Structures are given as C-alpha cells and as structure tokens.
Homo-oligomer: A and B are copies of this chain.
Amino acid sequence: MEGGYPKGRIRREDILTAAVAVYGEAGYHGSSLREVAKRAGITHAGLLYYFPTKEALLAAVLERRDADDGVRLRLNAPPGRDVLRHWLALAEHNVANPGIVELYSRLAAEAVAPDHPAHDYFVRHYRIARRSAFETFRVLGERGELRTGVDARTAAVTFMALSDGLQVQWLTKPDEVDLVGVLRHYINTMLAEPI
C-alpha cells in the first residue's frame, strides 16, 4: 500500500490530510473513520481499504508528521550543534501545535501494548530517535564539545524521554511548564559551551 498506483497514493494522502483536520476539530477520541471518509470525499468502505482501523489511520498520520518534521526542521542534518538547535525549533513548533502533541502523547501511552496497531510505529520511532540523538552526542563528544563525564548514549535516551515527559506535563498545565526552556537547559547541561 506504501507504493502502488499514483491514484492510490494520492487517495491515501487525501485521507491523511482529512484526518489531521478532523482530529484537530474533534480530537482523536471524538472523531470517527466515517467522519474522516466524508471529509476526504471517499466512502467508508473505501477508507477501510487503506486504513482498516482508527489506530492504523492515526499511526499513518504520525508517520507523515515525522516525515514532514524531518524535512521542515532538517532533523537529518549532519550531527553537531545545529541538530541541537533543530530539536529546540521542533519543540517550539510543538508548543504552537498542541493538538498533534496531544495525539502523539496519548497514542504513545496506548501503544505500549504489543498488540496495539501503533505499537510497531512507536518501537521504530523511539529507536530511530534514540539512534539519531546518540549519533549527535557521540560526534559532539569526539569533538570535545560535551562536558566531562557525559555519556552520549545515556544523554540521547534522556533527551528523548525528557521531551516526551515534558510534553504531557506541559499539556496538562501549559502555564506551569516551560517546555522549550527546560529542554534548552538540559542540552546546555550536557555541553562544554552552551548553545
């Protein structure tokens, strides 16, 4: 289904765009595949051909978000200080888009169960994010830009987990948690010279 004929790919993209719109208005729990199908101008049965469950559709929305983030924020830039700045830019982008952060947080928590349709997405997502963050800290370490005693692998896991945990606290009470500020502080605690 990833490849397929151009028409199928376009139809799939249309459904994802409709899903983002519907989630934004009604929330994930308040939305239905039927409503998404209507918005995308496709039958319910037609939508089920592409996305057999609500969760499968949500996972696809998140995968596309990852791809968009990657391009827009250049998260695949060569490891180095610029990547740290891109991470903070992503956090700023998230603060301006609480709806998608809420979807992500909620689904991440639901998808810890191995039989959840989005489980494999999150296993992959965490692996890729940790590996990418590790690569960045590892290179910074080789260049002597990390503070003495910082372990690149632990710093990578810590940054990803801190980011996820902060999002939930920030969503719960936005005025009590400085999402970007705390992430910046953590990054600077790991660096010999602050960014």
Contacts and interface: CB of A to CB of B under 8 A. Distances in A.
Contacts of A12: none
Interface in A24-63: 27
Interface stretch (A13-21, A67-75, A88-96, A161-169): A161-169
Given A161-B166, A165-B162, A185-B158, A109 B112 contact: no
A140 interface: no
Interface size class of A (residues with CB under 8 A): 35 or more
Stoichiometry, as copies per complex, reads 2
Interface in A168-185: 168-169, 171-173, 176-177, 181-182, 185
6 contacts: A102-B109, A105-B112, A106-B109, A158-B162, A161-B168, A164-B169
